[in-house]
Amino acid sequence: MTSAGGAAPTNFIREIIQADLEAGRYDRVVTRFPPEPNGYLHIGHAKSICLNFGLAEAFGGRCNLRMDDTNPSKEDAEYERAIREDVRWLGFDWGEQVYYASDYFEQLYAWAVQLIRDGKAYVDDLSADEIRAYRGTLTEPGRESPYRDRPVAENLELFERMRSGEFPDGAKVLRARIDMASGNLNLRDPVMYRILHATHHRTGDRWCIYPMYDFAHGQSDAIEGVTHSVCTLEFEDHRPLYDWFCKALGIHHPRQIEFARLNLSYTVMSKRKLLQLVEEGRVAGWDDPRMPTISGLRRRGYTPEAIREFCARIGVAKKDSTVDLALLEHCLREDLNRRAPRRMAVLRPLKVVIENYPEGQTETFDAVNNPEDPSAGTRPVPFSRELYLERDDFMEDPPKKFFRLAPGREVRLRYAYFIRCVGVVKDADGRVVELRCTYDPATRGGDAPDGRKVKATLHWVSAAHAVEAEVRLYDRLFSHPNPDRAGEGSFLDHLNPDSLEVLRGCRLEPCLAGARAGDRVQFERLGYFCADPDTADGRPVFNRTVTLRDAWAKLRKKGG
């Protein structure tokens, strides 16, 4: 059997769809991505987005973006806006319109009435606690509600009165009449509607009864002509109910297929927990660059291409697992390595004076923008008597393995000259505040005519030409690989206290003066960085997206 999509890797879902098409069960492919607008999308949603839109594309079909907005109290329009922005940014096109489950409320109501007429649904007066108690357990069957055999006419009347607002929250529910002895708890007369006197952000106060997930999701799929309803594994036990409703109503019947959700190490993914981080001020917002949200990753400097590549590499499976954060970062480095222009920046500046370089003189060197991409060309970088070097690149009393600058030692300045440290200036507390160096004019361009070698090449910025910037360094938000299951206490106990370090007074090479939010660069030797939206004219703020050290590639090399 061949699968559609050419070069794209196959997976078990594609095979099911292919077989359905060949068997004539469906004649086209329609999928959907159905977020509940009660939070921002995260990297787990990206997996579902890439999968659903990818399937539609592979089979020449369509993927609907549907707001699963059946829960009035927690949803709002701001989340919807963010969802649309994030899906589009990831590179997907949902076509003419966004779909809303709330647009189907009238149809869902009519279908509920149809089930009541057919004796397949009833109004129950039991409280939520009683319903739970009657439900039984995995080993014991449930008990039937005393209201289960209400006559159809009474059910119809009560359901209409529920709709018209006669009863308070929780007074009654509508339940499907299936089987209280079923081995599958989801089939023990599941609740279809509950009373909720709450304002919905789209339908206002038109409704005071709202359908439950199980009586909204599959029906929305049916209305939209979805053929393959792809969801995460926790809905596997709901599939018999999904199928039951479609059959009982005699409507278009999509196939539900489950796959394992994405879990990522050092991360939490539940929207409830992400909301808690935002509400308690543990992060700066949904788009804090430490968040696993799409908007956080975007602000951090991730590219849509890297995220899509990551989703392609992890594939889809039927078994839950946790993916190493290092793989996501690896995909990002691969992408940024290809396209991010190289720049020089000094994050913790140490002043250097080149004593034998003429005062007031400036010369420029041509620096390569991207060794991976010759078409990116070069840029001029100014050099002068006073420079900044990285404080970490100097040690007054270096240990054996330290090959960078030290008193009496010679190093190369990238693109420029060899310099030798001939003096150290300290403040009253003995702190090194300035280095005195000399340069060798014969080494212009980076090599000594006499063939002598140096062991280090350092980045630098000319003091007079430098642009001052703020740079934000990020580490993992959590210090435990699985903050959700790290024993006692809450995931909040495992927040990494050092996940953010803000550096002010950093010095960048002058071409970065015009940096605009979203610009991505590599600061040589330091990592990939992205200009933050806090960037103001001539006052760049950069986020470190990721360091250059690729833990994933190393792991692979060791034969992992």
Q: Applying CB under 5 A, which residues contact Mg ion?
A: 36
| Contacted entry of ligand ATP, Mg ion, none for residue 334, CB cut-off 5 to 8 Å set by kind | none
Candidate list 45, 253, 333, 412; residue touching ligand ATP; CB under 6 A: 45
* Angle (deg, nearest 10), helices 304-314 and 77-90: 80
Candidate list 20, 34, 155, 473; residue touching ligand ATP; CB under 6 A: 34
Q: Is the dihedral of CA 485, 489, 491, 494 positive or negative?
A: negative
- Residue nearest ligand ATP (C-beta atom): 44
Strand partners, 387: 352, 462
Does position 54 interact with ligand ATP (CB under 6 A)? The reply is no
Residue 129 beta carbon to ligand ATP: minimum distance, rounded to whole angstroms: 25
**At residue 552, what is the residue type?**
W
> Between 178 and 231, whose beta carbon lies closer to ligand ATP?
231
The bridge status of strand 349-354 relative to strand 432-440 is parallel
Alpha helices, H only, 287-365:
294-300, 304-314, 325-339
Candidate list 29, 44, 59, 527; residue touching ligand ATP; CB under 6 A: 44
- Burial class (CB within 10 angstroms; exposed 0-12, middle 13-18, buried 19+) of 101: buried
Binding mask 204-243 for ligand ATP (x = CB under 6 A): ---------------------------xx-----------
| Contacted entry of ligand ATP, Mg ion, none for residue 35, CB cut-off 5 to 8 Å set by kind | ligand ATP
The residue from 66, 177, 271, 299 that is catalytic is 271
* Angle (deg, nearest 10), helices 239-249 and 105-117: 80
Residue 236 beta carbon to ligand ATP: minimum distance, rounded to whole angstroms: 12
Q: Is 36 a catalytic residue?
A: yes
- Burial class (CB within 10 angstroms; exposed 0-12, middle 13-18, buried 19+) of 26: buried
Q: Is the dihedral of CA 113, 115, 118, 121 positive or negative?
A: negative
Residue 198 beta carbon to ligand ATP: minimum distance, rounded to whole angstroms: 19
Nearest to 69 by CA among 105, 32, 95, 113: 105
> Between 51 and 209, whose beta carbon lies closer to ligand ATP?
51
Candidate list 14, 20, 29, 47; residue touching ligand ATP; CB under 6 A: 47
CA distance 358 to 282: 51
Coil vs helix vs strand at 358: coil
CA distance 272 to 490: 13
Does position 269 interact with ligand ATP (CB under 6 A)? The reply is yes
Q: Is 271 a catalytic residue?
A: yes
The residue from 84, 120, 143, 261 that is catalytic is 261
| Contacted entry of Mg ion, ligand ATP, none for residue 328, CB cut-off 5 to 8 Å set by kind | none
Strand partners, 503: 471
Active-site residues, by number, are 36, 261, 271
List residues near ligand ATP by CB under 6 A.
34-36, 44-45, 47-48, 68, 231-232, 261-262, 269-271
